[in-house]
Amino acid sequence: MIQLFQFLARQKVILLFMLLELVNLWAVFKYNAYQHTLYFNTTNQWAASILATTQEVKTYHQLRIVNETLARENALIRTELLRLKSQQQPASKLPYFVSDAMLNRYQALACRVIDQSTQMSQNYLTIDKGRLDGIQPGMAVISSTGVVGKVMSCTDNLSLVVSVLHTSNSVSAKLKRSGELGYIKWPGYQSEVADLMDVSKYKKVVKGDTVVTSDYNAVFPPNIPIGIVAKVGLEKDDTFHDIKVMLFTQFATLQYVYVIKNRLAGQQAKLEATKPKAE
Amino acid sequence: MAVSFNYKWFLAVLFALVIQVLFLRDIAIANVAFCFIYVWFLVKAPMKTNPLLLLLGASAIGWLIDVFYNTHGMHAFACVLVAWLRPVFFRILTPANGYDERSSISLLEMKWLWFFSYLFLMLMSHHLLLFLLEAGDWTLIGYSVLKALASTILGMAVFGMLEFFNRPQ
């Protein structure tokens, strides 16, 4: 205690200086109208900017949750969209109605991509939903922009998806404008580009045409976008166009995908299994 | 001797304050040069003045000026700072052969270079702080510095002239 007083006595000049300056400064901001408002404005500004920054950081940390919510909501919207699409009357004069079972055959489920590759020649994705969530091998996987692939195998909580970027995974496709059928096949390099095969060279194909999944697709719902025609070529003694398709799906930055459950897939498979086999 | 000196000193400070408050308050040359003659008491206080006394005096006189200038606390703030910086300025400006024990601060006893350097440091720190505090706005910093500089030059001229009334005893 004595030492404290000794210290205070030794530093009395600077202490008095600081005390007086504090009092004066307080007076400046207390009794001068301009400085008074300045003080309040400034402190408010600082406080506001600090609060805004805090809010921003919080928002950033909530982004994951927000994304998840949005993905789930998108899945619902997609289900509804697919239902409405199948409700559309085809352009025919025949009396046609869609059964409820057909209407509600597709259901979308949002999943998070937890692992994936794009650089291999056979690429796969791992998603965070599995058999317990109703996913089964063979289901279609799409993203918000286009096709992604097909479920290959499931565990209880995870699933492995064969990407479209897989040399032995082909997708039945058609040109949206002309309705020409073909199939999409990835050549094994360049994750943005795939080939559209089997389009006859006598059909007209224009650069910029949209490629979508075909109506006869066993896996994907019809009219899911795949990509656009980027280059149309023709080899001399070839029967088909050599078409390069720019894929819509950005595989490198894929975070959420939608698994499409087809409620009638089992029925269809069973039914088609009864076809007499060609000898 | 000490008593009569303090008596004269007290009258001089009072006189400076009256001049400041009654006449110099409304005078500004070209809107940038202000004359703060009351700082005289800080400039001329004897070198060996008790620093505590100087701080308290600076605060009190600053307050008094503030009351008349309607700038509560600003002059007092600047004065206290300058009073505290005074020993620092003395140290910076120490002549080669040190200070004479009895020396007072005047043009007669100090070299004119020392005297005007000292004046510049004292007035500039006081005015700069005062104008910055008064403006309270960093966008006006250029104007504040200009005002401080102009006022300092005016102050140096005025204090220099006052020295001529200081007759050798």
Position A161 in a domain:
yes
Encode pLDDT of B36-66 as tens digits.
989 988 888 888 888 888 899 999 999 888 8
pLDDT for residue B1: 38
Q: How far is CA A7 from CA A2, A11, A12, A13, B85, in A?
A: 9, 6, 8, 12, 21
Total structural domains in chain B? 1
Whether residue B168 is contained in a domain is answered as no
With respect to residue B112, please indicate whether it lies within any of the assigned structural domains: yes
A172 in any annotated domain: yes
Q: Residue A36 domain-assigned?
A: no
CA atoms within 13 A on the CB side of A186: 28
Query: Which chain B residues touch A28 with a CB distance below 8 Å?
Result: 71-74, 77, 133
**CB contact A27 to B (< 8 Å):** yes
CATH number, position A231: 2.40.10.340
pLDDT per position as a tens digit, B69-115: 888 888 999 999 999 999 899 888 887 777 876 667 888 778 888 88
Residues of the domain holding B82: 2-96+103-163
Cα–Cα separations (whole angstroms), residue B90 to A49, A264, B82, B107, B156: 44, 97, 12, 15, 17
Nearby residues of A123 by Cβ (< 8 Å), 6 or more positions away: A116, A117, A163, A165, A166, A191, A251
- Which tokens is B105 given? 């601060």
Amino acid at B83: A
Across the interface, whether the CB atoms of B84 and A13 are under 8 A apart is answered yes
> Does A31 lie at the interface with B, CB-CB under 8 angstroms?
yes
Q: How many domains does chain A have?
A: 1
Size of interface A-B (CB pairs under 8 A): 58
Q: CA-CA-CA-CA torsion for A130, A136, A142, A144, nearest 10 degrees?
A: -40
Residue B154 lies in a domain: yes
Q: B136 contacts in A (CB within 8 Å)?
A: 34-35, 38
- Asked if the structure places residue B35 within a domain, the reply is yes
Overall size of chain A counted in residues = 279
Q: Are A27 and B62 a contacting pair at CB < 8 A?
A: no
**pLDDT tens column, B122-163:** 999 999 999 888 887 778 888 889 999 999 999 999 988 888
Judged by CB atoms closer than 8 Å, whether chains meet at A28 and B56 is answered as no
The reply to whether B169 falls in a domain is: no
Which of B55, B73, B137 minimises the CB distance to A25? B73
Q: Which of residues 20-79 of B touch A (CB under 8 A)?
A: 51-52, 55-56, 58-59, 62, 66, 71-74, 76-77
Looking at the domain assignment, is residue B117 inside a domain?
Answer: yes
Q: B10 CA to chain A: closest CA distance, Å?
A: 22
B72 contacts in chain A (CB < 8 Å): 27-28, 30-32
What string of pLDDT tens digits covers the 279 residues of chain A? Answer: 788 888 888 888 888 889 988 998 888 888 887 887 777 777 777 777 887 788 788 778 788 888 888 888 888 898 888 888 877 766 667 777 778 888 888 888 999 888 888 888 888 899 989 999 999 998 999 998 889 999 999 999 999 999 999 888 889 999 988 889 999 999 888 888 999 988 888 888 889 999 999 988 878 888 899 999 999 987 667 788 889 999 998 888 888 899 998 888 888 888 888 888 776
Record: contact B72-A28, CB cut-off 8 A = yes
Q: Which residue range is the domain that position A81 belongs to?
A: 69-89+105-262
Assess if residue A196 is contained within a domain. yes
CA distance A184 to B55: 88
What's the CA gap between B96 and B3, in Å, rounded?
33
Q: Is the dihedral of CA A30, A32, A37, A43 positive or negative?
A: negative
Residue B147 lies inside a defined structural domain of this protein: yes
A226 contacts A171 by C-beta, under 8 angstroms: yes
> Is B81 an interface residue toward A (CB < 8 Å)?
yes
